[in-house]
Structure 1
Amino acid sequence: MEIVIRASVMFAVMYLLLRLMGKRELGQMAPFELVSLIVMGDLIQQGVTHQDFSLTGATLAIVTFAGWSLVLGLVGHHSTRARRILESAPVVLVRGGSVIKRNMDIERIDRDELAAEMRLAGISRLDQVAWAILEPEGKISFIRADGQDVDSRRNEDDLAD
C-alpha cells in the first residue's frame, strides 16, 4: 500500500511539473529539457518504489500511474469544469497579423520559433496570419488572413496541383 500512496504523490508532482513546463511537443524540446524528463523518470522510480526493485513494486507503481491517468482522463471527459482545470486551453499567439506578446511570453515561445512554424505551414509574412493558436497538445494552428487553407503536412496530391 505504501507504493500506491508514493506513486499517487509522485503522479501529482509530475502532473503539476509537466503543466508548468508548458505545451511543447517532444520534437520541439531542447536537448536539456528531454534529458531532464528522462532523469525525472529515474528519480520518480526511486521515490515511488523506495528502492524496491521487485516485480510487484514496479507493477504497483505503473498500475497506479496508469490508473490516475485514466481517472483524470475520464473526469476531464465528463466534466467541463474539471477539464478546464486538468487540461490547458488553446492560446492565441497572433490576432490579425499582430503578435500577442504577453501570450508568447507566458508560453515561452519566441518570434524565431513562431517564424519557423509559419514557414512550415507555408506562410512567409506575419500579415498573412489572421490567427495563430497554440493548441493544448503543443502544435501551432494557423488561419490565414486570405482564407486559404494552411496545412504543413502536404501530401503528393497537394504538390501535383
Structure 2
Amino acid sequence: MLLILIRTLILYLGVVIVMRVMGKQEIGQLQPYELVIALMIADLAAIPMSNTGVPLANGLVPIFGLLIAQVFISYAALKNIKFRTIVCGAPSILVKNGQLVESELRRIRYNIHDLLEQLRVKNIANIADVEFAILETGGKLSVIPKSQKRPLIPEDLQISTKYEGIPTTLIIDGQIMSNNLRMIKLDENWLERELAKFGIDSHQKVLFASLDTNGKLFWQLKSD
C-alpha cells in the first residue's frame, strides 16, 4: 500500500507540473489538440499508478513527451496562422444579421436547439436581435447583439466616467500579499498603520483586505 501511495504522489506531482506548464485554460476553452493531450496524460498516469509492475518511467516519460509536443504545437500555432487553422480549426458564423447561416450549421452539425439554448443563457430570446453568433474554436458561442438591442452605456449618453481599475488585494486569511504592496509602492508598515486606525492591532486578525484605486481600504475581520 505504501508503494502505491508513493507512486501515486510522484505521478500526481508530475501531472500537476505538466498541466501548469501547459497553461491556465479551462476545460471548456481547450483547443482540440490540447484536450486530446490532457486525456492521454490522464490515461498514461493511471496505468503505472494502479499497476506496480509497470515502471514509473513508462508513465512519466510519455507524459513529459506529450508536454514537449504540446509546447511545440502551441508555439507553431502562435507563429503560423495556417498551421493554427489546421490544428485548431476556424470560428464558424452561425447567425448573421439576425438570420441563421444554414449551410454552416449543417457543415459543423450544430443543432438549432443547442444554439437557441446558448442564446437564452446569454439572455437573448430572439434570433432577430443577434448581429453575429460565432462558434469559437474552443467550443464557446460568442454573441454580438444588434446595436439597438445592446445595453445602454455612459458613452451612449455622452457621460464621462472616472477610471475605476480593480482593487489590489493586500491580506488574505491573515497573510499579507507583499508582492501586491510593492506593486503599488507601499509597505507593511503603512498597512499596519492603516489597520490601527480602525482599531485592528494585527493583520493576522484580518480575513481579507484590499485597496481600491481611490485609496479606500476595505477590510473584514476573521469570525473568531
Give the TM-score range, shorter chain: 0.5 to 0.7
The reply to whether residue 66 of structure 1 matches residue 72 of structure 2 is: no
Question: Mapping of 1:3-14 within 5 angstroms?
Answer: none
Work out the CA distance in 2 between the residues paired with 1:79 and 1:62: 26
**Counterpart AA for 2:139:** G
Identity %: 24
The 3 A distance-change label for structure 1 pair 67 and 38 is closer
Work out the CA distance in 2 between the residues paired with 1:147 and 1:61: 54
**Counterpart AA for 1:101:** E
Q: Which residue of 1 aligns with 2:163?
A: none
Q: Which residue of 1 aligns with 2:130?
A: 129
Deviation for aligned residue 1:38: 6.8
Q: Which residue of 2 aligns with 1:146?
A: 147
Deviation for aligned residue 1:146: 3.0
Larger RCO, structure (CA 8 Å, separation 6 or more): 1
Question: Mapping of 1:58-97 within 5 angstroms?
Answer: 58-97=59-98
Work out the CA distance in 2 between the residues paired with 1:69 and 1:38: 13
Instruction: Give the paired residue count.
Output: 113
Please state whether the residue corresponding to 1:133 is helix, strand or coil.
strand
Deviation for aligned residue 1:108: 2.3
Work out the CA distance in 1 between the residues paired with 2:129 and 2:150: 12
**Counterpart AA for 2:134:** I
Alignment deviations for residues 38-84 of structure 1 (CA, whole Å, 9 cap, x no partner) = 79x649x87xxxxx821011011101111111100011111222222
Please state whether the residue corresponding to 1:136 is helix, strand or coil.
coil
Work out the CA distance in 2 between the residues paired with 1:64 and 1:38: 14
Deviation for aligned residue 1:102: 1.9
Work out the CA distance in 1 between the residues paired with 2:79 and 2:131: 33
Bigger proportion of residues as strand: 2
Q: Which residue of 1 aligns with 2:171?
A: none
**Counterpart AA for 1:73:** S
Bigger proportion of residues as helix: 1
Q: Which residue of 2 aligns with 1:105?
A: 106
Q: Which residue of 2 aligns with 1:120?
A: 121
Work out the CA distance in 1 between the residues paired with 2:86 and 2:129: 33
**Counterpart AA for 1:81:** K
The 3 A distance-change label for structure 1 pair 120 and 71 is same
Please state whether the residue corresponding to 2:120 is helix, strand or coil.
helix
Work out the CA distance in 2 between the residues paired with 1:107 and 1:98: 17
Deviation for aligned residue 1:104: 1.3
Work out the CA distance in 1 between the residues paired with 2:101 and 2:58: 48
Tell me, which stretches of 5 or more residues in structure 1 are unaligned?
A: 1-24, 28-36, 47-51, 151-161
Alignment deviations for residues 88-111 of structure 1 (CA, whole Å, 9 cap, x no partner) = 111100111111122112222211
